[in-house]
Protein backbone atom coordinates (compact mmCIF):
# COMPACT_ATOMS: atom_id res chain seq x y z
CA UNK A 1 0.00 0.00 0.00
CA UNK A 2 1.29 3.49 -0.93
CA UNK A 3 2.51 5.58 1.99
CA UNK A 4 1.43 9.19 2.62
CA UNK A 5 4.78 10.40 1.31
CA UNK A 6 4.37 8.43 -1.93
CA UNK A 7 0.88 9.78 -2.51
CA UNK A 8 2.00 13.35 -1.78
CA UNK A 9 4.91 12.95 -4.23
CA UNK A 10 2.51 11.71 -6.93
CA UNK A 11 0.17 14.66 -6.34
CA UNK A 12 3.05 17.12 -6.80
CA UNK A 13 4.18 15.33 -9.97
CA UNK A 14 0.69 15.42 -11.49
CA UNK A 15 0.30 19.09 -10.51
CA UNK A 16 3.51 19.87 -12.37
CA UNK A 17 2.23 17.98 -15.42
CA UNK A 18 -1.05 19.90 -15.23
CA UNK A 19 0.80 23.22 -15.28
CA UNK A 20 2.81 22.13 -18.33
CA UNK A 21 -0.23 20.95 -20.32
CA UNK A 22 -2.13 24.13 -19.42
CA UNK A 23 0.76 26.27 -20.64
CA UNK A 24 1.03 24.20 -23.83
CA UNK A 25 -2.68 24.70 -24.45
CA UNK A 26 -2.26 28.48 -24.17
CA UNK A 27 0.70 28.44 -26.57
CA UNK A 28 -1.22 26.26 -29.03
CA UNK A 29 -4.23 28.60 -28.82
CA UNK A 30 -2.04 31.57 -29.68
CA UNK A 31 -0.45 29.76 -32.64
CA UNK A 32 -3.85 28.45 -33.73
CA UNK A 33 -5.34 31.93 -34.11
CA UNK A 34 -2.47 33.03 -36.37
CA UNK A 35 -2.52 29.81 -38.41
CA UNK A 36 -6.29 29.95 -38.78
CA UNK A 37 -6.17 33.52 -40.09
CA UNK A 38 -3.51 32.67 -42.69
CA UNK A 39 -5.46 29.58 -43.77
CA UNK A 40 -8.77 31.46 -44.13
CA UNK A 41 -7.07 34.16 -46.18
CA UNK A 42 -5.49 31.59 -48.50
CA UNK A 43 -8.40 29.16 -48.97
CA UNK A 44 -10.70 31.19 -51.31
CA UNK A 45 -7.76 32.22 -53.52
CA UNK A 46 -6.56 28.61 -53.89
CA UNK A 47 -10.06 27.31 -54.57
CA UNK A 48 -10.78 29.97 -57.20
CA UNK A 49 -7.43 29.50 -58.93
CA UNK A 50 -7.96 25.75 -59.14
CA UNK A 51 -11.48 26.25 -60.52
CA UNK A 52 -10.39 28.78 -63.17
CA UNK A 53 -7.49 26.65 -64.41
CA UNK A 54 -9.63 23.54 -64.38
CA UNK A 55 -12.18 25.36 -66.54
CA UNK A 56 -9.52 26.70 -68.92
CA UNK A 57 -7.88 23.29 -69.30
CA UNK A 58 -11.16 21.66 -70.36
CA UNK A 59 -10.73 22.60 -74.01
CA UNK A 60 -6.97 23.15 -74.04
CA UNK A 61 -4.61 21.02 -76.10
CA UNK A 62 -2.82 18.64 -73.72
CA UNK A 63 0.42 19.23 -75.64
CA UNK A 64 0.46 22.95 -74.90
CA UNK A 65 2.09 22.36 -71.51
CA UNK A 66 3.64 19.26 -69.85
CA UNK A 67 1.43 19.64 -66.75
CA UNK A 68 -1.68 19.20 -68.91
CA UNK A 69 -0.43 15.89 -70.26
CA UNK A 70 -2.65 13.00 -69.22
CA UNK A 71 -0.82 9.70 -69.57
CA UNK A 72 -1.76 6.15 -68.79
CA UNK A 73 -1.26 5.90 -65.04
CA UNK A 74 1.45 3.46 -64.02
CA UNK A 75 3.42 5.31 -61.33
CA UNK A 76 1.65 7.22 -58.54
CA UNK A 77 3.41 9.45 -56.01
CA UNK A 78 1.56 10.09 -52.74
CA UNK A 79 2.56 13.31 -50.94
CA UNK A 80 1.67 12.90 -47.24
CA UNK A 81 1.57 16.03 -45.03
CA UNK A 82 2.01 15.59 -41.26
CA UNK A 83 3.54 17.61 -38.43
CA UNK A 84 7.08 17.68 -37.06
CA UNK A 85 5.96 17.37 -33.44
CA UNK A 86 3.56 15.17 -31.52
CA UNK A 87 1.26 15.87 -28.56
CA UNK A 88 -1.61 16.65 -30.93
CA UNK A 89 -3.94 13.71 -30.38
CA UNK A 90 -4.83 11.58 -33.39
CA UNK A 91 -3.81 14.29 -35.90
CA UNK A 92 -0.87 12.39 -37.39
CA UNK A 93 -2.20 8.86 -36.92
CA UNK A 94 -5.40 9.70 -38.85
CA UNK A 95 -3.37 11.02 -41.79
CA UNK A 96 -0.98 8.06 -41.86
CA UNK A 97 -3.81 5.55 -41.52
CA UNK A 98 -5.82 7.09 -44.38
CA UNK A 99 -2.71 7.29 -46.57
CA UNK A 100 -1.88 3.65 -45.79
CA UNK A 101 -5.35 2.47 -46.77
CA UNK A 102 -5.24 4.41 -50.05
CA UNK A 103 -1.72 3.24 -50.89
CA UNK A 104 -2.76 -0.38 -50.27
CA UNK A 105 -5.74 0.10 -52.61
CA UNK A 106 -3.49 1.55 -55.33
CA UNK A 107 -1.06 -1.35 -55.02
CA UNK A 108 -3.96 -3.79 -55.19
CA UNK A 109 -4.90 -2.16 -58.51
CA UNK A 110 -1.31 -2.87 -59.63
CA UNK A 111 -0.02 0.70 -59.69
CA UNK A 112 3.60 1.42 -58.81
CA UNK A 113 3.37 3.62 -55.71
CA UNK A 114 6.02 5.90 -54.22
CA UNK A 115 5.74 8.11 -51.13
CA UNK A 116 6.91 11.67 -50.51
CA UNK A 117 6.48 13.14 -47.05
CA UNK A 118 6.22 16.52 -45.38
CA UNK A 119 6.78 16.54 -41.62
CA UNK A 120 9.05 14.52 -39.36
CA UNK A 121 6.23 12.24 -38.19
CA UNK A 122 5.57 10.91 -41.70
CA UNK A 123 9.29 10.71 -42.45
CA UNK A 124 10.00 8.63 -39.33
CA UNK A 125 6.86 6.53 -39.79
CA UNK A 126 7.83 5.36 -43.28
CA UNK A 127 11.49 5.02 -42.31
CA UNK A 128 10.58 2.59 -39.51
CA UNK A 129 8.57 0.53 -41.99
CA UNK A 130 11.38 0.51 -44.54
CA UNK A 131 9.24 2.36 -47.09
CA UNK A 132 11.37 4.04 -49.74
CA UNK A 133 10.57 7.76 -49.79
CA UNK A 134 11.07 9.67 -53.02
CA UNK A 135 11.62 12.89 -51.06
CA UNK A 136 11.11 14.01 -47.45
CA UNK A 137 10.80 17.52 -46.05
CA UNK A 138 10.84 18.29 -42.33
CA UNK A 139 11.47 21.16 -39.92
CA UNK A 140 8.88 23.54 -41.38
CA UNK A 141 6.00 23.12 -38.91
CA UNK A 142 5.16 26.40 -37.23
CA UNK A 143 7.18 28.47 -39.72
CA UNK A 144 5.56 27.68 -43.05
CA UNK A 145 6.40 30.05 -45.89
CA UNK A 146 5.53 30.18 -49.57
CA UNK A 147 9.17 29.28 -50.27
CA UNK A 148 8.53 25.88 -48.66
CA UNK A 149 5.61 25.28 -51.01
CA UNK A 150 7.72 26.37 -54.00
CA UNK A 151 10.49 23.93 -53.08
CA UNK A 152 8.06 21.02 -52.74
CA UNK A 153 6.17 22.01 -55.90
CA UNK A 154 9.44 22.22 -57.86
CA UNK A 155 10.24 18.59 -57.02
CA UNK A 156 6.67 17.45 -57.77
CA UNK A 157 6.61 19.24 -61.14
CA UNK A 158 10.02 17.88 -62.12
CA UNK A 159 8.95 14.30 -61.35
CA UNK A 160 5.78 14.72 -63.40
CA UNK A 161 7.27 16.49 -66.41
CA UNK A 162 10.13 14.00 -66.80
CA UNK A 163 7.51 11.20 -66.60
CA UNK A 164 8.95 9.65 -63.46
CA UNK A 165 5.39 9.67 -62.08
CA UNK A 166 2.07 9.78 -63.93
CA UNK A 167 -0.11 11.03 -61.07
CA UNK A 168 0.51 12.94 -57.83
CA UNK A 169 -1.89 12.68 -54.89
CA UNK A 170 -1.91 15.04 -51.91
CA UNK A 171 -2.95 13.76 -48.46
CA UNK A 172 -3.49 16.30 -45.68
CA UNK A 173 -5.79 17.37 -42.85
CA UNK A 174 -8.33 19.97 -43.96
CA UNK A 175 -9.45 22.34 -41.21
CA UNK A 176 -13.19 22.25 -40.50
CA UNK A 177 -13.42 23.67 -36.98
CA UNK A 178 -11.36 23.88 -33.80
CA UNK A 179 -12.73 20.45 -32.88
CA UNK A 180 -12.83 18.80 -36.30
CA UNK A 181 -10.27 18.08 -39.01
CA UNK A 182 -10.97 16.04 -42.13
CA UNK A 183 -8.41 13.91 -43.97
CA UNK A 184 -8.44 14.89 -47.65
CA UNK A 185 -6.93 12.91 -50.53
CA UNK A 186 -6.88 15.07 -53.67
CA UNK A 187 -5.25 14.79 -57.07
CA UNK A 188 -2.57 17.42 -57.54
CA UNK A 189 -1.39 16.36 -60.99
CA UNK A 190 -2.52 16.06 -63.70
CA UNK A 191 -4.94 18.95 -63.47
CA UNK A 192 -8.50 17.62 -63.64
CA UNK A 193 -10.65 19.34 -66.30
CA UNK A 194 -13.88 20.83 -65.01
CA UNK A 195 -17.02 18.85 -65.78
CA UNK A 196 -19.18 20.77 -68.21
CA UNK A 197 -22.63 21.86 -67.07
CA UNK A 198 -25.39 24.09 -68.39
CA UNK A 199 -24.11 27.00 -66.28
CA UNK A 200 -20.46 26.72 -67.39
CA UNK A 201 -19.11 28.89 -70.17
CA UNK A 202 -18.31 27.23 -73.50
CA UNK A 203 -14.59 26.84 -74.18
CA UNK A 204 -14.85 28.99 -77.31
CA UNK A 205 -15.92 32.00 -75.20
CA UNK A 206 -12.44 32.39 -73.67
CA UNK A 207 -10.03 34.92 -75.19
CA UNK A 208 -6.36 34.53 -74.25
CA UNK A 209 -4.07 37.52 -73.85
CA UNK A 210 -1.11 37.50 -74.45
CA UNK A 211 -1.47 33.87 -75.58
CA UNK A 212 -2.86 30.57 -74.39
CA UNK A 213 0.59 28.98 -74.07
CA UNK A 214 2.05 31.88 -72.10
CA UNK A 215 -0.88 31.86 -69.69
CA UNK A 216 -0.63 28.13 -69.01
CA UNK A 217 3.16 28.31 -68.74
CA UNK A 218 2.85 30.99 -66.10
CA UNK A 219 -0.17 29.78 -64.16
CA UNK A 220 0.03 25.97 -64.13
CA UNK A 221 3.25 25.74 -62.04
CA UNK A 222 1.94 28.56 -59.85
CA UNK A 223 -1.26 26.62 -59.25
CA UNK A 224 0.72 23.60 -58.00
CA UNK A 225 2.60 25.88 -55.60
CA UNK A 226 -0.63 27.49 -54.39
CA UNK A 227 -2.40 24.17 -53.80
CA UNK A 228 0.56 22.80 -51.82
CA UNK A 229 0.81 26.05 -49.83
CA UNK A 230 -2.88 25.83 -49.03
CA UNK A 231 -2.49 22.21 -47.86
CA UNK A 232 0.43 23.23 -45.60
CA UNK A 233 -1.61 26.06 -44.05
CA UNK A 234 -4.66 23.82 -43.61
CA UNK A 235 -2.44 21.22 -41.94
CA UNK A 236 -0.83 23.83 -39.67
CA UNK A 237 -4.20 25.18 -38.46
CA UNK A 238 -5.50 21.63 -37.95
CA UNK A 239 -2.36 20.64 -36.03
CA UNK A 240 -2.60 23.55 -33.57
CA UNK A 241 -6.35 22.96 -33.10
CA UNK A 242 -5.70 19.26 -32.41
CA UNK A 243 -2.86 20.10 -29.99
CA UNK A 244 -5.05 22.63 -28.19
CA UNK A 245 -7.79 20.01 -27.72
CA UNK A 246 -5.28 17.33 -26.67
CA UNK A 247 -3.70 19.59 -24.04
CA UNK A 248 -7.13 20.59 -22.72
CA UNK A 249 -8.04 16.91 -22.32
CA UNK A 250 -4.68 16.20 -20.70
CA UNK A 251 -5.15 19.06 -18.24
CA UNK A 252 -8.64 17.84 -17.37
CA UNK A 253 -7.35 14.27 -16.86
CA UNK A 254 -4.53 15.58 -14.64
CA UNK A 255 -6.97 17.58 -12.50
CA UNK A 256 -9.23 14.54 -12.14
CA UNK A 257 -6.22 12.48 -11.05
CA UNK A 258 -5.22 15.16 -8.52
CA UNK A 259 -8.71 15.03 -7.00
CA UNK A 260 -8.58 11.23 -6.81
CA UNK A 261 -5.10 11.24 -5.25
CA UNK A 262 -6.09 13.96 -2.77
CA UNK A 263 -9.06 11.89 -1.67
CA UNK A 264 -6.81 8.84 -1.35
CA UNK A 265 -4.29 10.90 0.66
CA UNK A 266 -6.96 12.20 3.02
CA UNK A 267 -8.34 8.71 3.60
CA UNK A 268 -4.87 7.31 4.28
CA UNK A 269 -4.07 10.21 6.63
CA UNK A 270 -7.35 9.72 8.48
CA UNK A 271 -6.62 6.00 8.82
CA UNK A 272 -3.14 6.80 10.13
CA UNK A 273 -4.47 9.25 12.74
CA UNK A 274 -7.17 6.77 13.80
CA UNK A 275 -4.52 4.05 14.21
CA UNK A 276 -2.35 6.34 16.33
CA UNK A 277 -5.33 7.24 18.53
CA UNK A 278 -6.19 3.58 18.95
CA UNK A 279 -2.60 2.85 19.96
CA UNK A 280 -2.71 5.64 22.55
CA UNK A 281 -6.05 4.46 23.94
CA UNK A 282 -4.75 0.90 24.06
CA UNK A 283 -1.65 2.03 25.94
CA UNK A 284 -3.70 3.99 28.48
CA UNK A 285 -5.96 1.01 29.09
CA UNK A 286 -2.91 -1.22 29.56
CA UNK A 287 -1.50 1.16 32.20
CA UNK A 288 -4.81 1.20 34.05
CA UNK A 289 -4.81 -2.57 34.20
Q: Which residues are marked as active site? A: 88
**Order of strands across the sheet that contains 133-137:** 133-137, 112-118, 75-81, 167-177, 180-189
In degrees rounded to 5, what are phi and psi of residue 165?
Answer: -125, 155
Say how far residue 121 (Cα) sits from the centre of its chain: 10
How far is it, in rounded angstroms, from Cα 48 to Cα 54? Answer: 10
How far is it, in rounded angstroms, from Cα 75 to Cα 46? Answer: 26
Q: Radius of gyration (Cα) for the chain, nearest Å?
A: 29
Per the DSSP assignment, residues forming a β-bridge with 114 are 77
Cβ atoms of 80 and 117 closer than 8 Å: yes
CA distances (Å), origin 134, targets 67, 164, 261, 262: 20, 11, 50, 53
Amino acid sequence: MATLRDIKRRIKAVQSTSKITKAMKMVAASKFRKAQQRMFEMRPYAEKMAAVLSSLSTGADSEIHPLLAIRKIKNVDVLVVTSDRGLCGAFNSNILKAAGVHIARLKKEEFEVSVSSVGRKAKDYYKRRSVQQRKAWSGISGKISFANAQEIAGQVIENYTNETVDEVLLVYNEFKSAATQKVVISRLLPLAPMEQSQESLPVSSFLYEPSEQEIFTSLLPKNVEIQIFRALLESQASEEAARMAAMENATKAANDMIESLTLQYNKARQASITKELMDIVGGVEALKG
